[in-house]
């Protein structure tokens, strides 16, 4: 692919940068992190400007652009504040499932709820006993007449306690092959039997909401079953192909944000009579970090572009997510190192980037799971 971004894409990236730099104030970042506060007001502003609905088709009130444009916005938001960036851009988490597999009625109801009435969405697959091994979900989604009854527990769910609706994965059919028989249902949080409990004391991304969801005899109508019952696992795998490049873009933003802070610091901080940027070890490290970030960025853009032309490559999405995630952790670690002891103190923003970065290697499939996907695609059946 040709990696030159179009004028329109560059304008979008610039607009996202300007918005984040203006709205994500140091005070707000600090407050949201310290108090684990969800920044509803900024989330609404970002929504009104179309940043978080960028991929929702125009006919449903979104901007109608592609994953590549979304990745550019993501990178800029996370560069300034991973926590607030996550709150803003993940406020529509899970909508890819609706865009890819929803029927017109579901898109009309739920995507328009997001674009016209600021609904917050969630996507709930993880359970206490089913994380990486998602096919092991124990939640039941069982048909009873014209309704489906849902029972189970979901955990570590982004937006769990503030969402208006969630796409919930559960088992409908007991099959020999575990991957068959799973179904996605659209569950509204106001439905009887839906209960969410916020999870506190996260290491990072503390402006973002994470919760456990209990589903007890929740009843949804037929119209709330996504696509075909029993195909949920396969829908989820395609969903990840489309969302892992976005996590890669999150990680690139974090790496760049931490790098920028470190770069400023090494030019200002003096030891042995000169700025620490004058030491060759610092210079070599700066060169190495910048190169790693650029490599991760190109991989993230390529994976996003691949989706935007409708030719997803699972191995590419996983390569981007794994490599960029590891880059975010590596770069933020070195950014703290370059700050010496001050990097360990909460007053310095670099400490927050270090804590925020770790999630990039964990959610939407750990780095080990990404490597399994890549290897499986390359090696094939043995
Ligand atoms: C802040 C946050 C937000 C999240 N948001 C959501 C959300 O919105 N929706 C949602 O459904 N989930 C969400 N998750 C859950 C996340 O996707 C899972 O935590 C992740 O998939 C890992 O699952 P697990 O935590 O059960 O770890 P486990 O699967 O128990 O893994 C533990 C360790 O074992 C390794 N491992 C497991 N299997 C293998 C294997 N076959 N080979 C090699 N190593 C292996 C893993 O890589 C990991 O290092 C979120 C998590 C966090 C922390």
Sign, CA torsion 141/217/120/208 = negative
Residue ID of nearest Cα to ligand 1 atom 23: 131
Ligand 1 pocket: which of 366, 367, 369, 372 to mutate (most atoms within 8 A of CB): 366
Residue appearing with tokens 């090696």 = 379
Q: What is the pLDDT of residues 154-209, one digit of tens each?
A: 999 999 999 999 999 999 998 778 899 999 999 999 999 999 999 999 999 999 99
- Ligand 1 atom at shortest distance from the alpha carbon of 366: 47
Residue ID of nearest Cα to ligand 1 atom 24: 131
Catalytic center residues: 364
Answer yes or no: is the C-beta of 362 below 6 A from any ligand 1 atom: yes
Structural domains of the chain ordered from first start = 7-117 (1.10.540.10), 121-231 (2.40.110.10), 234-379 (1.20.140.10)
Residue ID of nearest Cα to ligand 1 atom 32: 132
Answer yes or no: is the C-beta of 157 below 6 A from any ligand 1 atom: yes
CA of 353 from ligand 1 middle (Å) equals: 21
DSSP annotation string for 125-182: --BTTBSS-GGG---EEEEETTEEEEEEEEEEEETTTT-SEEEEEEE-S--SSTTTTE
Residue ID of nearest Cα to ligand 1 atom 6: 157
Q: Which two tokens stand for residue 2?
A: 């040709």
Cα gap 332→334, rounded to integer Å? 5
Residue 2 has a pLDDT of: 57
Cα gap 199→155, rounded to integer Å? 9
CA of 245 from ligand 1 middle (Å) equals: 17
DSSP state of 185: E
Q: What is the pLDDT of residues 241-280, one digit of tens each?
A: 999 999 999 999 999 999 999 999 999 999 999 999 999 9
170 with 137: CB under 8 angstroms? yes
Ligand 1 pocket: which of 93, 126, 154 to mutate (most atoms within 8 A of CB): 126
Q: How far apart are the first and last CA of the chain?
A: 31
Answer yes or no: is the C-beta of 137 below 6 A from any ligand 1 atom: no
Per-position pLDDT tens, the chain of length 382: 556 899 999 999 999 999 999 999 999 999 999 999 999 999 999 999 999 999 999 999 999 999 999 999 999 999 999 999 999 999 999 999 999 999 999 999 999 999 999 999 999 999 999 999 999 999 999 999 999 999 999 999 999 999 999 999 999 998 778 899 999 999 999 999 999 999 999 999 999 999 999 999 999 999 999 999 999 999 999 999 999 999 999 999 999 999 999 999 999 999 999 999 999 999 999 999 999 999 999 999 999 999 999 999 999 999 999 999 999 999 999 999 999 999 999 888 999 999 999 999 999 999 999 999 999 999 998 8
């Amino acid at each position: 692919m040709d990696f030159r971004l179009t004028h329109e894409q560059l304008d979008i990236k610039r607009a996202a940068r300007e918005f984040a730099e203006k709205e994500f104030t140091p005070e707000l970042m600090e407050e949201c992190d310290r108090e684990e506060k969800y920044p509803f007001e900024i989330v609404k502003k970002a929504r009104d400007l179309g940043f978080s609905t960028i991929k929702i088709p125009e006919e449903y009130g979104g901007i109608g652009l592609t994953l590549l444009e979304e990745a550019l916005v993501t990178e800029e938001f996370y560069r300034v504040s991973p926590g607030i960036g996550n709150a803003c851009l993940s406020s529509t988490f899970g909508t890819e499932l609706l865009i890819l597999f929803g029927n017109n009625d579901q898109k009309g109801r739920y995507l328009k709820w997001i674009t016209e009435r600021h609904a917050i969405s969630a996507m709930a697959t993880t359970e206490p006993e089913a994380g990486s091994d998602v096919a092991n979900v124990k939640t039941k989604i069982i048909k009873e007449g014209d309704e489906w009854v849902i029972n189970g527990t979901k955990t570590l769910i982004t937006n769990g306690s503030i969402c208006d609706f969630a796409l919930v994965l559960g088992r409908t059919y007991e099959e020999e092959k575990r991957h068959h028989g799973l179904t996605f249902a659209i569950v509204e949080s106001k439905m009887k039997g839906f209960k969410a409990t916020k999870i506190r004391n996260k290491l990072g991304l503390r402006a973002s909401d994470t919760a456990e969801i209990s589903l007890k005899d929740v009843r949804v109508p037929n119209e709330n079953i996504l696509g075909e019952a029993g195909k949920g696992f396969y829908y989820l795998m395609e969903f990840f192909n489309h969302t892992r490049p976005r996590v890669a873009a999150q990680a690139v933003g974090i790496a760049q944000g931490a790098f920028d802070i470190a770069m400023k610091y090494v030019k200002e901080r003096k030891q042995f009579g000169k700025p620490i940027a004058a030491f060759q070890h610092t210079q070599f490290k700066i060169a190495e970090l910048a190169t790693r970030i650029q490599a991760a960025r190109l991989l993230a853009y390529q994976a996003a572009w691949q989706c935007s032309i409708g030719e997803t490559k699972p191995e590419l999405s996983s390569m981007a997510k794994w490599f960029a995630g590891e880059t975010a952790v590596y770069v933020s670690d070195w950014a703290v190192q370059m700050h010496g002891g001050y990097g360990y103190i909460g007053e310095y923003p670099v400490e927050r980037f270090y804590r925020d970065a770790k999630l990039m290697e964990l959610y939407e499939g750990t780095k080990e799971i990404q490597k399994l996907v890549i290897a499986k695609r390359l090696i094939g059946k043995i």
